[in-house]
Amino acid sequence: MSDYKIHWGLWYNYSVDSEQLTLPAFVGSILVASTSTFIAIAGGQLWSLIAFIVYYCRANPGEPHDGIHISQQALYKNISSPLGLVWSLIKGNIVYAGLESWKKWWKRRASPYTTRRKRRLCLFGGLPTFVWLIYTAAGPASPFLTTHPVYKGNEVLAKSQNCGFEQWNRSTSQGNIAFQKNSLRIASEALTYVNNCYNSTDALSCSVLPRQNLDYAVYQISDCPFGSRCKVSPITMETGWMDSHEDFGMNAPVSDRVQMRKQATCAAVDVRDLTTLASIGNGLFRYEYDLGPVEGLSENYTAYAVERQAPDYVGYNIQPYYAFQGVDGPWTPIADFNSSDGDVSLFVIQFGIIKYESKVTDPLFSATKPLNDTSFFTPDMPAGLMACIDRYQLQNPSGSIQTTMGSVKQVTGQFQKLNFNNAQMAAATRFMLPSSLTEMYNAVNGLGVAALRAQRNVFSSVSVGLPSDQWLAEARGWFETTLAMYQLRVVSFAFKDDSQLDPYMRLNLDLLTSQKTNITSDLESMCSQQKLRNIAKWQTFSIAGLAIIAGIGGGIIILSLAVEGDDVI
């Protein structure tokens, strides 16, 4: 993950609608200590002010007073500590009556004079006691009075560097290789992030992105989106409405925000009737799956797998294919795998010579055939296939206007119906441009078996076994990886390391040339408005909080100094 540079100084945080001050942790700790000291000084002066007010309100020079009143007035005027005042009041009453007499006096049945005396002691001793208790409770909390949020990972603003959308020159093999290397880097970072931060609490490595992980729901559906080929009920994984500001850190007022929902539907599929067996000698066969032509492949099949005895295959191997709706791509799927409202990914998982210590009844990894006279079990077929459909939906939260749930191309084509202002159009562009690079296909492409959770149970070519819903774990893992890739790509719009630049890549702020609205200036403004989180190196303070503390504390100190020399009797 990039080592993001942070803007330190003043900035406006639309999450709290106020100015914030971000400082390096060391400087921030000095500010916290200084603020705590200031609060302590102001608190001490506040008691001096309270004591003066009490003293002044009880001062009636023309009227006679008893000794207790005069003693209390003298104590309120001359003792600066509330706790010291309480102790002096108690000692004064003991001295006034004598210790034994005071004990008897306190316990005996009250006369009107005794009642008034007790009441005065409780009232004028209780006030400084209450103030002292407030000081005691507020002392440890004073460092947090200026911090926002209190301790949820400070929000900071990224310092823009190499801002813009990546535009790759893939007209040459070198450019295409550079693009693939960059895509693999992001996929690897996303997979690592998922392993550390999704369903985990690894604090340091998970404290940078605006949201640690994007929540989603999983539910089964009854209709198979791939003809009648689903081996079990398909599942749909769907996020809620993800907010450009709250979830992706695009710092903006409510009127300039957009929301997006991402969905993927997956199923293990049965393609036995689309499978042709081709002999490869020595009694072995290649299983050829005809699910539609693949660009650059002269054979009349989409993918293939060989039986486990073939010497060239060891362990799992996975090959992904994709077909974007409405766009010519490398794979043209047959009708059952073609979607009119989503982008399709196909995964062919070859089992090689994997064997299991126990039977596997999972529909994708089914292995129930005993291996000769051993206790192991081998896969029922040389490969398992899973297909997924990615869909998206955009919403204008200002008017709750939505696009239909559809493919990247379909949703992008509905921008105009959402009545976006220019800032919202820029945010929607940042949402949709990375979408075609963060689909289920991209979670696997290039990563190989590293993207396969079943591989974690394998030592050499032996697996301890798999649960009956392993296919669901794989689908969820890929979906989580797409979400992490999405987070990384959206944030990287505003910031890229110099090491991420490439001769075959240029940065562009105006890629959606089909849109009628010119949003280049709005995108440029967003370069300096990307929020992140950081709990280690930076501290963020509320300017309003600092101003309130400075104003109230300063007022207390000035007033206390103004009345300090008053000699009212």
Going 136 to 140 to 146 to 149, the CA torsion angle's sign is negative
Mean pLDDT, rounded, for 534-553: 82
Mean pLDDT, rounded, for 509-530: 77
Q: Select the more confidently predicted residue: 240 or 516.
A: 240
Query: How far apart are the C-alpha atoms of 146 and 118, rounded to whole Å?
Result: 41
Q: Select the more confidently predicted residue: 59 or 248.
A: 248
Number of other CB atoms surrounding residue 64 within 10 Å = 6
CA dihedral 190, 196, 198, 203 (to 10 degrees): -120
pLDDT of residue 482: 97
For residue 482, give every residue at least 6 positions away whose Cβ sits within 8 Å of its Cβ, in sequence order, or none: 190, 262, 264, 390, 438, 439, 440, 442, 443
Q: CA geometry: angle at 415 spanning 432 and 158, to 5°?
A: 45
Q: Give 133-170 pLDDT, tens digit per residue.
A: 766 666 565 555 544 433 334 789 998 888 999 888 98
pLDDT of residue 29: 82
pLDDT of residue 194: 93
Helices 67-78, 82-97: inter-axial angle, 10-degree rounding: 160
Mean pLDDT, rounded, for 506-535: 79
**Could you tell me the pLDDT band of residue 113, with boundaries at 50, 70 and 90?**
low
Percentage of the residues of the chain whose pLDDT score is greater than 70: 79
Residue 1 has pLDDT above 70, yes or no: no
Give the helix/strand (H/E) hosting 47: helix 25-58
Query: How far apart are the C-alpha atoms of 325 and 409, rounded to whole Å?
Result: 7
Q: Give 54-105 pLDDT, tens digit per residue.
A: 777 767 666 666 666 666 667 666 666 676 666 676 666 555 554 445 555 5
Query: How far apart are the C-alpha atoms of 476 and 498, rounded to whole Å?
Result: 33
pLDDT of residue 439: 96
Among 11-15, 127-131, 272-276, 365-369, whose mean pLDDT is lowest?
Answer: 127-131
CB contact at 8 A, 412 and 405:
no
CB contact at 8 A, 261 and 239:
yes
Share the mean pLDDT of the chain.
84
Q: Which long-range contacts (CB under 8 A, 24 or more apart) does 218-225 make?
A: 218/472, 218/476, 221/265, 224/267, 225/265, 225/267, 225/339, 225/389
Residue 486 has pLDDT above 60, yes or no: yes
**Could you tell me the pLDDT band of residue 544, with boundaries at 50, 70 and 90?**
confident
Strands 462-463 and 355-356, how do they pair? parallel
pLDDT of residue 83: 66
Number of other CB atoms surrounding residue 182 within 10 Å = 17
pLDDT of residue 30: 86
**Could you tell me the pLDDT band of residue 358, with boundaries at 50, 70 and 90?**
very high
Burial tier of 488 (Cβ tally within 10 Å: 0-12, 13-18, 19+): buried
pLDDT of residue 96: 52
Q: DSSP letter at 363?
A: T
SS3 string of 190-239? HHHHHHHHCCCCCCHHHCCCCCCCCCEEEEECCCCCCCCCECCCCEEEEE
**Taking the CA of residue 376 as centre, how many other CA atoms within 13 Å lie in the half-sphere pointing to its CB?**
13
pLDDT of residue 137: 64
Among 9-23, 24-38, 426-440, 479-493, whose mean pLDDT is lowest?
Answer: 24-38
Give the helix/strand (H/E) hosting 262: strand 259-269
Query: How far apart are the C-alpha atoms of 454 and 470, rounded to whole Å?
Result: 7
Percentage of the residues of the chain whose pLDDT score is greater than 90: 48
**Taking the CA of residue 413 as centre, how many other CA atoms within 13 Å lie in the half-sphere pointing to its CB?**
10
Q: Give 296-340 pLDDT, tens digit per residue.
A: 887 889 999 987 655 555 689 999 999 999 888 899 999 999 999
- The backbone torsions φ and ψ at residue 437, rounded to the nearest 5 degrees and listed phi first, read -105, 5
Burial tier of 566 (Cβ tally within 10 Å: 0-12, 13-18, 19+): exposed
pLDDT of residue 100: 47
Q: Distance from CA of residue 88 to its chain's centroid?
A: 55
pLDDT of residue 443: 96
- The backbone torsions φ and ψ at residue 155, rounded to the nearest 5 degrees and listed phi first, read -85, 135
Q: DSSP letter at 504?
A: T
Query: How far apart are the C-alpha atoms of 260 and 522, rounded to whole Å?
Result: 19
Q: Give 406-440 pLDDT, tens digit per residue.
A: 999 999 999 889 999 999 999 999 999 999 999 99
Q: Select the more confidently predicted residue: 363 or 65.
A: 363
Number of other CB atoms surrounding residue 559 within 10 Å = 16
Number of other CB atoms surrounding residue 402 within 10 Å = 18
**Could you tell me the pLDDT band of residue 202, with boundaries at 50, 70 and 90?**
low
Q: CA geometry: angle at 513 spanning 429 and 489, to 5°?
A: 30
Burial tier of 342 (Cβ tally within 10 Å: 0-12, 13-18, 19+): buried
Residue 127 has pLDDT above 80, yes or no: no
SS3 343: strand
